[in-house]
A and B are shown apart, each in its own frame.
Chain A
Amino acid sequence: MVAILMMVAAIFSASGNELSPAEAANLFQRFVKTQRALRTLRAEFEQTVSLPGLRSPSVSKGTFFYRAPDGVRIDYSKPAGDFFLLQGEKFYVVRRRGVPRSYSASDREARMLVALRRMMEGRSDPEGEMVSKVSREDDEYIVTLTPKNPSRELPEKIENRINAESLLLEKMTIQLPRGTSMEFRFSDWERNAKIDESLFSSP
């Protein structure tokens, strides 16, 4: 998810299928225009966590919600009861219908959703922690992000595959240390659909 954000602060190399600066700029303009027209966004997702030494990966499913300008919610249906909620400056995490843990939007725990929200708003990343590379492969744009300064606080690499036509995210893979990876596959995107307002109320 962080990778999507970094797409708007691109550093492009001129090798392979990478986009030229002009193409990248054009793509960026398209993306911003599209995002700024958003009021809501909704999609289904499947989350797969793979770790070396784990017999089989851990798979979760759920629904992604965005409500302009500052609400992001990730609801898990499997396992049920888990969700992330970022509303304004508050960030909540609920696991297995347990007691919500709240954080500030500036806390480390909220970084992922904050970056995602920024992308949804069509804004660039002010901190510039990641270096991005955009390439085209068939009908997909591939945005690859690597940290400027490797840190245990940041993933080793994030790869995002975006539909070239709709500019909607289809898959995101986050590479973590020690061979761990997290993959998100998105489907059934809906723009500006009606969304239950109560989803963005504080738990």
Chain B
Amino acid sequence: MVFFRAPIYAAFLAVVIGSGLWAILTIRFGTEFLPILPASLPSVQGLTDFALGAAGKDEIYAVVDPMVQGTERQELLATARTALSAAPGVERVVAPGEIAENYAGALGAWILLNSPPEIFARATGAFSPDVMAKRLEEIPERLAGAIDPAQIVQMQFDPLGVLESLGGERGDQSAFGSMGMDAGFLIITPDHYLENTAQDTAMTEVLRSALDQAFSEHERGKVLLTGNPVFNAEISRQMQRDVGIMVGAALILLIASFYAFYRTWRPLGWILFFQILAMLCGIVAARILYGELNVISIGFASILLGVGMDYSVLVYHYYASSDRNNAAVWYTLRRGIWFSALVTASSFFMLGFSSFPALRQLAVLVGVGLLSTALMATWLLRAVLRDYPPRAPRVLSIASNGTASWVMRHKGLLTGIAVALAVTLILSRPWTYTKPLYSPSLEDMRPIGSMAFRAQEWLGQLDPSSGDAIYVLRGATHDAIRAAVVPLEQAVRPGQKGSAAWLVPSESNVAANLSSWSENTSARLQEAFERAGVGEDWSEITLQLARVLDATKRGDADAFSQVNSILRALAGSDERGKFAFLRVPHAANHPIPAGGLAGIAPDVEVYPVSWVSLTKELMELAQHDFEYLGIAMLIAIIVLCTVAQRSWRMVLLNLTALVLALCLFIGLLRIVGLSLTPLSLISIPLLVGLVIDYSLHILMTLEEQRGDLHKTYRYLAAPVVLTGLSGCIGFGVPALTGQPALTNFGLVMDIGIISAVVACLLFLPVLYLWGVGKDYRQRKFYRVLYRRRSFELILFGWRLLGKTGAWLISRTFGLGYALTHFATVRTVRRNMAMLDPQKATYAAACRLFINQGENFSSYGRLAREEPQAVLQMIGEARGFEYLERARKEGRGCVLVTGHLGFFELGGLVLAQMGFTMAALTLPEPGDGLTEWRADFRARWGVRTIVIGQETFAFLDAVRALQEGTLVASLADRPYDDNSVDIALPHGGMKFATGSVLLALLAGCPIIPVAILRDPHGTYRMDACDYIEPTWLPEGREETLRHYTEKIAASLVPIFIKWPEQWFQFSPVDAAPVVRGNKRV
């Protein structure tokens, strides 16, 4: 097996699998909802504090259906209570009001102790012996006359009227509003802390089982459990089920779609294996960095399957195609995969700066997973497929070609559609849509079918305080918090009668009141009650109150232990300081006052315990994140695309694809009637990554294939469609869970993927092709101006304006051409980059055009000067001994040069030096230019031989050589297939073999020459070598190749040294020459 051949493979697999298994076995599933939200949000802090403090993290509620009333409700509660109390692990089961009823005295003591001293004094004044005796005596009288039954009960409860003193403070407040005996639910307290989800699940199952046994099937649905542990257990179970469904269904559908495309199993198995390895890498990252997966980040597996598959499919497709041995294609593909992975991963890593912890986790997991997938695809999968290359079904190739042809034929239509799409969307003013694209309500994220959630809703209906707005107040002291209560109440509910400030402890009041309390008051009161003949029915609560105050006076820390569960719901202290919970009645739907909560009390922090305010805060934060992260992501994409493609045009095309995809996305959302939720909002960065992923691949391949859409589609169309399909499957599968939040997320992502595929596969290539540009010889400038009359105009210009004027005009024309012919400039730069990328700057390209303008202008100079005088234009001359040697031997020779410098001047100079010269040329475009140039050369004594389709011209050249003529020809722009590939430092080009053939037939040497303008304004002439071609035993082709390479070996260094005088305006590159795994 391939992986055992090289130890590094086996070692890598062992590490990944081993660490992955460790991570799976030790990772925790975080089921809590609040930790996935930003802790800095006031509502999150409030909800968290309330859940940990007041609500009792481990408390479970058994709730009766609010529709059940009367005796049936009482019976259900009684049965539930009996069953739950007997269940193992249960410490107690109480009705909400029981504690308050049974320990009303203790509660009363707490309230009094924290009341202002004047109220405490007024209340406890009833304990003075005289007052007490009088009040007890008056009981019968007080019971007579216009008395309400409630007052009768009150009197029995509080015969001395101690708590009447508090009456005016409370207004409409009811501290224990949720604690009525008739509340319809029970509170179950476990006898041990529930420290993890496993314990939550175990406890919940015990209680469920107890209820199952106690009730008939008909009754069972009327009593449900809820509370933190129940939610955790249910979510955990749901998560595991959902992950199983999502991954399992995704795998099945992906296998089916892959097989439908490629009709093969084994490579698919490998691809899935490596995808799973990539997921393991993500899980390892989660385990190391966070220790858990939460309800959001659990979705990374599905996302990876959808997004990461395309790398493997691209690699597979490469090895299944006829280009599997084309190293250059592999080079481009691998580069594209890695850049795509980097860009997509970086767009996810941007989420790492999100305010949402859950998104930060997801970002890291997906980013790590994507990079791992790219590694697996380009390294391990390649190793497998290289040894067992697959074959793609022909139908894919046929379909790709057909699609490419269709796109080419309908280029205009597709462009029109793309433009219309963008314009339509902008004109429709999407920012004014009545139904918003984004719906921030957390209601849409509620789980359905959740028993715990249904019970929670029942609880909300039964709890009379469910309409209250709740707040957590934090301060240095409870006194400070207490002082903030009234301002807060009035801000939230102006004009509210009474205040709940009396429910907030007060250190100063306690200290003052305790000091005025006489110890052992309870013993004295007991005696007084007994003397008055008042039994326990009357005295119990009052004595309880007094005993608790006595205990507190003595310093008993457990004085209020019996009512701790109630007091915990009021106030407390922790490592952050003092806190208290405040309820404002009837304000649940508008908990935040117009001026906000900050600044209501200077030294007190106020946190709302409200899903209403949380929704608003999340919306604002998501919007803020979206704006900033969106910009950051865009910048990252632009930077990475620029690095990848090194072309602003390509970057602009990438961004255009993004805009078109978003237009399609928004349009489809409106048609389908979907809105984005806080969860599906994260689809936006995912989509951005996907679009850039596809567009990078497509544009890089189009560039590589020089706009050949058929080849591009052959490489990419099937993989992109398949990966788009796999992406749709990967994201759409969560809809199977039936959860509204996941269904919405899946549908939104599917719409996004469809938009990305259509935009990148159909519209993007069309937009690219519009900008490819024709060859410079097809352009109007060339066709109109490269004519005989233009050269005559140059001559006239020289006569009229002289050297300076001509200098100015030629440079202006050259620069003007550069500034107006972007495609040609790009081509020139591309050619220059093959010699030396450092020198392929825009400025260098402009200088090249200026030099060419100078060359054309020089015709005017040559026309004005005497032929002898042009010798003064020559500066340095090297290699003339080669020419002299040929002359001495009486032989002609082929002078080979490139479109380099001012090669025309070379012919004139050599003619003046006494050499017999001829120039080989192709027919010039337009009427008369060939003849004009031939006449021009003739004045210098240079004969022109026009070659092309005619064989006789070639014979003419051979005869001229045999007669001792130096025949000049250009080798770097072959006009037919008679050429060989020549390697350049960063690319390759073709050299014509005609010169070699000519020399062989004529039996003469070849001298590579160049004539270039040096910085002093003169020209240097180089004769580089003296090549004697002979027929090699390897045959004609090898002979031509061998000597052409020798010519190139002389000329290419000159091209490299003088790139600004190498005038190639069409792409010169052949496919790059690659040996082994590297470009040569």
A binding-site residues for B, Cβ under 8 Å:
47, 49, 51-56, 58-60, 74, 76, 78-79, 81-84, 93-96, 108-109, 112, 131, 148-153, 155, 174, 176-180, 182
Is B152 in contact with chain A by the CB < 8 A criterion?
yes
**Least CB separation from A2: chain B residue:** B149
Contact (Cβ within 8 A) A179 B149: no
Contact (Cβ within 8 A) A53 B538: yes
Q: Provide the bound-state CA to CA distance between A177 and B70, in Å.
A: 17
Could you say which of B147, B150, B182, B535 contacts A52, with CB atoms under 8 Å apart? B535
- A54-B140, A55-B533, A94-B146 given as contacts; is B182 within 8 A of A149 (CB)? yes
B binding-site residues for A, Cβ under 8 Å:
69-70, 73-74, 97, 139-141, 143-150, 152-153, 155-157, 180-182, 533-538
Contact (Cβ within 8 A) B146 A74: yes
Could you say which of A56, A84, A148, A153 contacts B146, with CB atoms under 8 Å apart? A84
Contact (Cβ within 8 A) B145 A95: yes
- CB-CB < 8 A to A153: which residues of B? 150
Cβ of A57 to closest chain B Cβ, rounded Å: 8
Contact (Cβ within 8 A) B141 A152: no
Q: Provide the bound-state CA to CA distance between A131 and B74, in Å.
A: 14
Q: Provide the bound-state CA to CA distance between A176 and B180, in Å.
A: 16
**Least CB separation from B148: chain A residue:** A109
Q: Provide the bound-state CA to CA distance between A150 and B537, in Å.
A: 21
Contact (Cβ within 8 A) A178 B153: yes
Could you say which of B140, B157, B535, B537 contacts A58, with CB atoms under 8 Å apart? B140
- CB-CB < 8 A to B157: which residues of A? 178
- A49-B152, A180-B152 given as contacts; is B139 within 8 A of A54 (CB)? yes
- CB-CB < 8 A to A78: which residues of B? 144
- A51-B156, A131-B70 given as contacts; is B182 within 8 A of A150 (CB)? yes
Contact (Cβ within 8 A) B537 A60: no
- CB-CB < 8 A to B538: which residues of A? 51, 53-54
Cβ of B84 to closest chain A Cβ, rounded Å: 20
- CB-CB < 8 A to B74: which residues of A? 150
Q: Provide the bound-state CA to CA distance between A47 and B145, in Å.
A: 8
Cβ of A159 to closest chain B Cβ, rounded Å: 14
Contact (Cβ within 8 A) B140 A149: no
- CB-CB < 8 A to B534: which residues of A? 53
- CB-CB < 8 A to B181: which residues of A? 150-152
Contact (Cβ within 8 A) B141 A79: yes
- CB-CB < 8 A to A148: which residues of B? 69-70
Q: Provide the bound-state CA to CA distance between A178 and B101, in Å.
A: 11
- CB-CB < 8 A to B97: which residues of A? 152
Could you say which of A56, A95, A152, A174 contacts B180, with CB atoms under 8 Å apart? A152
- CB-CB < 8 A to B150: which residues of A? 108, 153
- CB-CB < 8 A to B155: which residues of A? 51
**Least CB separation from A1: chain B residue:** B149
- A148-B69, A149-B69, A150-B74 given as contacts; is B145 within 8 A of A112 (CB)? no
Contact (Cβ within 8 A) B536 A83: no
Cβ of A203 to closest chain B Cβ, rounded Å: 12
Q: Provide the bound-state CA to CA distance between A49 and B143, in Å.
A: 7
* Extra inter-chain contacts (20) besides given A51-B537, A54-B139, A152-B180, CB under 8 Å: A49-B143, A49-B144, A51-B155, A52-B535, A52-B537, A53-B156, A53-B534, A54-B143, A58-B144, A79-B144, A79-B145, A82-B146, A95-B145, A149-B70, A149-B182, A150-B182, A174-B149, A176-B152, A178-B156, A178-B157
Q: Provide the bound-state CA to CA distance between A151 and B152, in Å.
A: 16
Q: Which of A55, A82, A149, A179 has the most CB of B within 10 A?
A: A149
Q: Provide the bound-state CA to CA distance between A96 and B143, in Å.
A: 12
- A58-B140, A151-B180, A151-B182 given as contacts; is B156 within 8 A of A93 (CB)? no
* Pairs across A and B, CB under 8 Å, 7 listed: A53-B156, A53-B537, A58-B140, A84-B146, A151-B180, A178-B156, A178-B157
Contact (Cβ within 8 A) A60 B149: no
What are the 9 tightest A-B residue pairs by CB atom distance, in nearest-first order? A82-B145, A58-B143, A53-B535, A82-B146, A53-B537, A148-B70, A60-B144, A52-B537, A151-B182
Q: Provide the bound-state CA to CA distance between A188 and B9, in Å.
A: 108
Contact (Cβ within 8 A) B149 A182: yes
Contact (Cβ within 8 A) B153 A180: yes
Contact (Cβ within 8 A) A51 B152: yes
Could you say which of A59, A84, A174, A180 contacts B144, with CB atoms under 8 Å apart? A59
**Least CB separation from A11: chain B residue:** B70
- CB-CB < 8 A to A60: which residues of B? 144-145
Q: Provide the bound-state CA to CA distance between A111 and B536, in Å.
A: 30
**Least CB separation from B182: chain A residue:** A151
Cβ of B356 to closest chain A Cβ, rounded Å: 43
- CB-CB < 8 A to A93: which residues of B? 146, 148
Q: Provide the bound-state CA to CA distance between A95 and B146, in Å.
A: 6
- CB-CB < 8 A to B536: which residues of A? 53
Cβ of B557 to closest chain A Cβ, rounded Å: 32
Q: Provide the bound-state CA to CA distance between A93 and B145, in Å.
A: 10
Contact (Cβ within 8 A) A176 B148: no
- A84-B146, A149-B70 given as contacts; is B537 within 8 A of A182 (CB)? no
Cβ of B147 to closest chain A Cβ, rounded Å: 7
Q: Which of A59, A94, A148 has the most CB of B within 10 A?
A: A148
Q: Provide the bound-state CA to CA distance between A131 and B145, in Å.
A: 28
**Least CB separation from A51: chain B residue:** B156
Q: Provide the bound-state CA to CA distance between A54 and B534, in Å.
A: 7
Q: Provide the bound-state CA to CA distance between A59 and B155, in Å.
A: 16
Contact (Cβ within 8 A) B144 A182: no
Could you say which of B144, B146, B153, B535 contacts A176, with CB atoms under 8 Å apart? B153
Q: Provide the bound-state CA to CA distance between A60 and B148, in Å.
A: 13
- CB-CB < 8 A to B141: which residues of A? 58, 79
- A53-B535, A58-B140 given as contacts; is B152 within 8 A of A76 (CB)? no
- CB-CB < 8 A to A47: which residues of B? 144
Cβ of B538 to closest chain A Cβ, rounded Å: 5
- CB-CB < 8 A to A74: which residues of B? 146
- CB-CB < 8 A to A176: which residues of B? 149, 152-153
Cβ of A110 to closest chain B Cβ, rounded Å: 9
Contact (Cβ within 8 A) A182 B180: no
**Least CB separation from B143: chain A residue:** A58
Q: Provide the bound-state CA to CA distance between A108 and B172, in Å.
A: 12
- CB-CB < 8 A to A180: which residues of B? 149, 152-153, 156
**Least CB separation from A175: chain B residue:** B149
Q: Provide the bound-state CA to CA distance between A180 and B536, in Å.
A: 14
